[in-house]
Structure 1
Amino acid sequence: MHDPIRIPACFSSTDHQRQPDEPRSGQSVFKSVYRTKLAGECRLITITWCRNLLLHGLSVSVQGPEGDEHYRCKVELKPWYFWRKQGSKRFIVDGCTVDVVWDLKAAKFNGETEPRSDYYVAIVCEDEVVLLLGDQKKDAYRKTGCRPSLIEPILISRREHIFGKRKFTTRVKFNEKGTFHDISVECNSDGIDPVLEIRVDGKLAVQVKHLQWKFRGNESINVGKNGLQILWDVHDWLFGSGPRHGIFIFNPIPSSSPPDSATGEFDNAVLGSTRFCLFLYAWKVE
């Protein structure tokens, strides 16, 4: 199972040998896709955060009329360019002006790729804030002078590229009104019998022994009162060479549909879903 995605060039690069969909080692990439109404149409807006040892990068892209990427604006947060931590950019989508306004001066990243607090990123179109990220919402409305959109944006998917040697962790909300859940993936590949362990909120959710025979699979669990389908493909971890990543998909199950680990085909189980899904790309660093 391979789900090709385009990784924005948040950082200047001189590596012309690298594939366009492959992040550089040590570069974390978090990509969130929202559906909302913009310029009179229902469109997808993609927010991407990138991080390496030198800088943070933010990019915003808007879906075009044919489903392609219509426009992308990029912001590089280099330590020696403080003025770039606050500003705005403007572009046109189907004749409508779209403004991206941000304030990251006091943003607290706490070592993460995305900021945790004290920031906002607002996308404005036709005097409405169609998408607003961060906790400084009052400041965002005051700065833009615009009203909230009557249509609430929907988070469709999230893709994370993270690097590690054995253990990979992230935090995620499976719905906008829910609470954060801690996700960890750990693979003990020492010896002749690798074991894969996936934990949710510190509790062991999935344990796969004899991984060389079960490198692809899926299982459904309960997280509180809700179901969650977990799918994995770690073929490249075990049998690949060069940069290798495992893919993990966390797909919430509606409360009306009880978990059933026997249902669904791995390759197509969630790709057509309109519900939120987390795609975790775990890159192993030797």
Structure 2
Amino acid sequence: MKDFPSCFGESGVQVADFSSSTSRTAQNLVSCVYQCRLRGRSRLITVSWSKNLMGQGFSVGIDDNTNQCLCKVDIKPWLFSKKKGSKSLEADSSKIDIIWDLSSAKFGSGPEPLEGFYLGIVFERRMILLLGDMRKEAFKKTSATPVPSDPIFIAKREHIFGKKIFSTKVQFCDNGQLHDLVIECDTSAVSDPCLMIRVDSQTVMQVKRLRWKFRGNNTILVDGLAVEVFWDVHNWLFGTSLGNAVFMFKTNPSAEKLWVSQPLSDPHMLPWSWSQRFQDSQSQCLGFSLILYAWKNE
């Protein structure tokens, strides 16, 4: 895969194929990428939360900055009855402990827990990544100490569903304000639909004559940040009923724009090269990228 680290490839954590209606309705998936430092070296930790008919689960993969998977663990949904536990892995010739407690976790409509949980990663007795609101319990469980610098949340990939309105929540910068993001597009009731994007109920972008502008990019301003918006709604307009649109929101205006004519309907094929950008992570800010795959419910 080109859009996320290699731990999501065929040799790593198995991600469901969303090309069929069965897979599309049976599973939801949210993947988050964090930049951390292990022994002074940049490392990428990808946490994926999944939900299907068998339950909820998660996976953790650790990559180096050349996009090589160092280690991974996959807690499959059908094993998720054990809602607390730990796993020990090895990376950079040292042990990495992954601990979690989701026994009291509360979930919304998606697979990502909202509160009442922790997921921690410990390397050399230091908590290099800690997710959730039960921080005291996690540090007590591990006796680990915090790292000098917090991990940076650099990317998120999410599948969203709707008929003409698609919504999610997003932070456009690390530890920034949480916003309501809404994409609205009615492709069935009008001959030439309009694409609208709202942030906290405010319209920030509108694309008319969408049949001519089904693929493009624009810039919006959120929290004083320039956010580059890319869209590809070709499948909504001209594809099959099982097709999805792809949206990308990117907050690194200095990065080279790589929007090309290649269709973005395949979640496993995106033109932006993550590995190249990760290699430069030590010398420049990566910004934040949100990739949304929007599926229309029948």
Please, what TM-score do these two structures have when normalized by structure 2? 0.81
Q: What is the alpha-carbon distance in structure 2 between the residues aligned to residue 225 and residue 43 of structure 1?
A: 28
Aligned residue number for residue 112 of structure 2: 114
Q: Secondary structure, in 3 states, of the residue corresponding to 1:98?
A: strand
After TM superposition, list the pairs within 5 Å mapping 1:126-205 onto structure 2. Answer: 126-189=124-187, 190-205=189-204
Q: CA deviation at 1:44?
A: 0.7
After TM superposition, list the pairs within 5 Å mapping 1:1-286 onto structure 2. Answer: 6=8, 8-9=13-14, 18=17, 24-26=23-25, 27-38=27-38, 41-64=41-64, 67-77=67-77, 82=81, 84-189=82-187, 190-241=189-240, 243-252=242-251, 264-267=257-260, 272=277, 274-286=286-298
Q: Is the 8 A contact 1:77 1:85 kept in 2?
A: no
Aligned residue number for residue 15 of structure 1: none
Q: What is the alpha-carbon distance in structure 2 between the residues aligned to residue 101 and residue 281 of structure 1?
A: 30
Q: Secondary structure, in 3 states, of the residue corresponding to 1:266?
A: coil
Deviates more, 1:101-110 or 1:243-252: 243-252
Higher relative contact order (CA 8 A, sep 6+): 2
Deviates more, 1:244-253 or 1:43-52: 244-253
Q: 1:247 to 1:52 in 2, by over 3 A?
A: same
Q: What is the alpha-carbon distance in structure 1 between the residues aligned to residue 62 and residue 99 of structure 2?
A: 15
Q: What is the alpha-carbon distance in structure 1 between the residues aligned to residue 291 and residue 63 of structure 2?
A: 20
CA deviation vs aligned residue, 1:225-271 (integer Å, no higher than 9, x gap): 333222211112212225311111112257xx8xxxxx945247896
Corresponding letter in the other structure for 2:48: T
Q: 1:143 to 1:72 in 2, by over 3 A?
A: same
- Runs of 4+ with deviation above 6 angstroms: 19-23
Q: What is the alpha-carbon distance in structure 2 between the residues aligned to residue 65 and residue 195 of structure 1?
A: 40
Q: What is the alpha-carbon distance in structure 1 between the residues aligned to residue 206 and residue 199 of structure 2?
A: 12
Corresponding letter in the other structure for 1:54: M
Q: What is the alpha-carbon distance in structure 1 between the residues aligned to residue 39 and residue 87 of structure 2?
A: 17
Q: What is the alpha-carbon distance in structure 1 between the residues aligned to residue 123 and residue 21 of structure 2?
A: 33
Q: Secondary structure, in 3 states, of the residue corresponding to 1:214?
A: coil
Q: What is the alpha-carbon distance in structure 1 between the residues aligned to residue 225 and residue 3 of structure 2?
A: 29
Q: What is the alpha-carbon distance in structure 2 between the residues aligned to residue 283 and residue 81 of structure 1?
A: 26
Please, what TM-score do these two structures have when normalized by structure 1? 0.84
Q: CA deviation at 1:224?
A: 3.9
Deviates more, 1:162-171 or 1:221-230: 221-230
Q: 1:196 to 1:210 in 2, by over 3 A?
A: same
Q: What is the alpha-carbon distance in structure 2 between the residues aligned to residue 137 and residue 128 of structure 1?
A: 14
Corresponding letter in the other structure for 1:176: D
Q: Secondary structure, in 3 states, of the residue corresponding to 1:213?
A: coil
Q: What is the alpha-carbon distance in structure 1 between the residues aligned to residue 173 and residue 95 of structure 2?
A: 30
Q: What is the alpha-carbon distance in structure 2 between the residues aligned to residue 207 and residue 121 of structure 1?
A: 39
Q: What is the alpha-carbon distance in structure 2 between the residues aligned to residue 133 and residue 20 of structure 1?
A: 31
Q: Secondary structure, in 3 states, of the residue corresponding to 2:108?
A: coil
Q: Secondary structure, in 3 states, of the residue corresponding to 2:286?
A: coil
Corresponding letter in the other structure for 1:35: Q
Q: 1:143 to 1:276 in 2, by over 3 A?
A: same
Q: 1:20 to 1:283 in 2, by over 3 A?
A: closer
Q: What is the alpha-carbon distance in structure 1 between the residues aligned to residue 62 and residue 20 of structure 2?
A: 19
Q: What is the alpha-carbon distance in structure 2 between the residues aligned to residue 22 and residue 147 of structure 1?
A: 46
RMSD (Å) for aligned C-alpha atoms? 2.9
Count of matched residue pairs: 270
Q: Is the 8 A contact 1:28 1:163 kept in 2?
A: no
Q: Secondary structure, in 3 states, of the residue corresponding to 1:237?
A: helix
Structure 1 residues not aligned, in runs of 5+: 12-17, 258-262
Q: What is the alpha-carbon distance in structure 2 between the residues aligned to residue 137 and residue 199 of structure 1?
A: 33
Q: Is the 8 A contact 1:10 1:76 kept in 2?
A: no
Structure 2 residues not aligned, in runs of 5+: 261-270, 278-284
CA deviation vs aligned residue, 1:153-205 (integer Å, no higher than 9, x gap): 11111111122222211001112321100001121112311111111111111
Q: CA deviation at 1:275?
A: 0.9
Q: Is the 8 A contact 2:193 2:210 kept in 1?
A: yes
Q: CA deviation at 1:68?
A: 2.0
